[in-house]
Chains A and B, each alone.
Chain A
């Protein structure tokens, strides 16, 4: 069934959908092109799969094209992603050449005509050299590019400054650039499988399937199994809580069997959990939206103890489900959690344990915080706000 903006009337703030329909009167018939790498998935894929039908419904002529790259193109893109986020990567000339070749092939063959072109992440940056002169090109960067590796930045920057504008998810992710830089937060779709309302039976079935009893409060962290998520720290915090409150800890997230680093972290976390039967380590296959939804809804408190984080949409998802979140002061977590109102931020094991204990001891406060968390997401981090930002950007860029 096609996605309709009308479906969000009861979910978004009152009057917001009507406002969006009126706003879109200014962009009817405009041609918009989104370009991504062909392996784009995760956050960007989830957003575009919802956003493009909505943009189309409100009258834009929208296309989504993907670069068909070879092995060296994908290697280059992964190198750029890591390098943009500050990793000390090696950028061999052959890899750069593979990137240039894929861009060249795409630039020659792909129809790039549009009123506005949104190029997502570093994958498609080089296509700016093939841009028709009558369109506006916007680079949409989801990564934390605040401290890029210099060689990567030196290669990418000449492309970036040819764009008409850049869009980042947080001010602290941006770089000094001679083009206008706009702020657009990522978003979640409240009607998606990962975020839709669930029947109590669906939650029960999922937890039964995952063999997690609901006999005591559940602390949950949803994240990849990487070192940056500080899963050992979460277990240490849980142990500090456990001596006062009987509770369970669930560490869940998608995990790739091919990723050796992830498997190593998974083994490390299993070691740290030892034989504690109240710690549940739940590696999930990529398409596990319903499982994650059910776990978040069953949780009493959600933790996001990342050492480094992008925007942190798993925090957004938990807040949307009315859960207080205790998260680290990094990336978008700081922006999303309003300290003392929708949850708490803390960078230490002890701090995390302290706030968990406080909320377990005061369920009424936790409930109240969860309600405010949901309102905060409703206002700032739903797909309807994302639609608003894109329409605004188009209108504004058209006036420059």
Chain B
């Protein structure tokens, strides 16, 4: 029986987020673009990734606070839809993502006579994200152990091993896929590919967890003899 054991265990690390207000606001789209150009990368990260930590019960329609604010407070549907099409997970780092957002807003503004302004609600407030890792002192050596721990750990574990790993730590495939697919891990590249096909956009962390567990359960059921 292949119990899929890895030479090196997977360590589950969760995280908490401390939010720092930058004291910078935007009341129109021009100011929003200027802010996006100038704020620290941690703020871009907050507004494009941290919603995963904030919304558990249902996915946010738009994949960034920028798009949401433009839709709800400025009510520029065209721009919010264009911003909504930018998938933060397609970028290798925050700077690439920042450039794409700025280019999209800039292109939109060039097509208009007036700068769209806040017409409903509050100005956009730039906030920065400080992520603190929390080692859960929990590890998995086999695929079954990995599956069982993944089912019960705090959902910030998923954020840390997916968002943080991909965008801020340069491990572009994310930690789960890296460990499952690599020789130092489980060396199951096909399984890693299946999990890698899960698109985080439009899902919650719980949604990502459920889909990952479905794939793992299917794999384990298929490969472990009764």
Chain A residues with CB under 8 Å of chain B are: 13-16, 18-19, 22-23, 168, 171-172, 174, 176-177, 180-184, 329, 334, 339, 341-342, 372, 375-376, 378-380, 388-389, 391-393, 395-396
Interchain nearest-CB distance for A177 vs B (Å) = 7
| Beta-carbon contact of B132 and A392 below 8 Å | yes
Q: Contact between A15 and B17 (Cβ–Cβ < 8 Å)?
A: no
The answer on a CB contact under 8 Å between A22 and B14 is yes
Contact check, B23 vs A176: say whether CB atoms are below 8 A apart: yes
Question: Pick the contact of B57 from A172, A375, A393 — CB < 8 Å?
Answer: A375
- The binding surface of chain A is classed by DSSP as helix
A174 touches which one: B17, B21, B58 (CB < 8 A)?
B21
* CB-defined contacts of A389 to chain B, threshold 8 Å: 18
Residues 3-23 of chain B: 1 if any A CB is under 8 Å from the residue's CB, otherwise 0? Answer: 000000000001011111101
Decide if B21 touches A396 in the complex (CB within 8 Å). no
Stretch at the interface among B121-129, B170-178, B194-202, B216-224: B121-129
Does B136 contact A380, Cβ atoms closer than 8 Å? no
B21 engages A183 (CB within 8 Å): yes
**Which residue of chain A lies nearest to B57 when distances are taken between CB atoms in the complex?**
A375
Contact B130 A341 (CB under 8 A): no
Tell yes or no: B54 within 8 A of A by CB: yes
Q: Which of B116-171 contact A (CB under 8 A)?
A: 121-123, 125, 127, 130, 132, 134-137, 152-157
- Cβ–Cβ contact B20 & A13, under 8 A: no
The answer to the question of B56 belonging to the interface, with a C-beta cut-off of 8 Å to chain A, is yes
Residue contacts A-B, CB under 8 angstroms, 24 given: A13-B154, A14-B152, A15-B14, A15-B152, A15-B153, A19-B16, A19-B134, A19-B156, A22-B14, A22-B136, A23-B132, A23-B134, A172-B123, A176-B23, A177-B23, A183-B21, A184-B19, A334-B122, A339-B72, A375-B57, A376-B56, A392-B132, A393-B18, A396-B132
List residues 169-194 of chain B with CB under 8 A from any CB of chain A.
none
User: Contact size class for B?
Assistant: 20 to 34
Select one of B16, B18, B121 contacting A182, CB under 8 A: B18
Are the CB atoms of A181 and B20 closer together than 8 Å? yes
Contact B132 A341 (CB under 8 A): no
CA distance A18 to B152 in the complex (A): 11
Check A183/B127 contact, CB under 8 A, given A177-B23, A334-B121, A392-B18. Answer: yes
A375 to B204, CA, bound (A): 13
A187–chain B nearest beta-carbon distance, Å:
15
**Which interface residue of B18, B123, B130 has the most chain A CB atoms within 10 A?**
B18
Q: Are B20 and A15 in contact (CB under 8 A)?
A: no
B23: A residues at CB distance < 8 A = 174, 176-177, 181
**Complex A-B, nearest 8 residue pairs according to Cβ-Cβ distance, in ascending order:** A15-B154, A171-B125, A375-B57, A183-B19, A19-B154, A392-B18, A379-B56, A181-B21
C-beta contact mask, B41-73 vs A, less than 8 Å → 1, else 0? 000000000000011111000000000000010
Besides the contacts A342-B57, A376-B57, A379-B56, what 7 more A-B pairs have beta carbons closer than 8 Å? A15-B153, A19-B136, A19-B154, A183-B21, A341-B57, A375-B57, A392-B18
- Pair B57/A16 contact, Cβ less than 8 Å: no
Contacting residues, chain A, for B125 (C-beta < 8 A): 171-172
CB distance from A200 to the nearest CB of B (A): 26
Q: Which residue of A lies closest to B126 (CB)?
A: A171
* Bound complex: CA A214 to CA B127 (Å): 45
The reply to whether B154 and A16 contact each other, CB–CB distance below 8 Å, is yes
Q: Quick one: closest A residue to B156, CB to CB?
A: A19
B130 contact set on A, CB distance < 8 A:
392, 396
Q: Chain A residues near B122 (CB, 8 Å)? A: 172, 334
Enumerate chain B residues within 8 angstroms of A19, measured Cβ to Cβ: 14, 16, 134, 136, 154, 156
Chain A contacts for B56, CB-based, 8 A: 13, 375-376, 378-379
Q: For residue B135, which residue of chain A has the nearest CB?
A: A22
User: Considering only CB atoms, which chain B residue lies closest to A329 in the complex?
Assistant: B121
Q: Quote the shortest CB–CB distance from A98 to chain B (angstroms).
A: 32
Cα A15 to Cα B54 in complex, Å, equals 16
Nearest-neighbour CB distance to chain A for B155, whole angstroms, equals 7
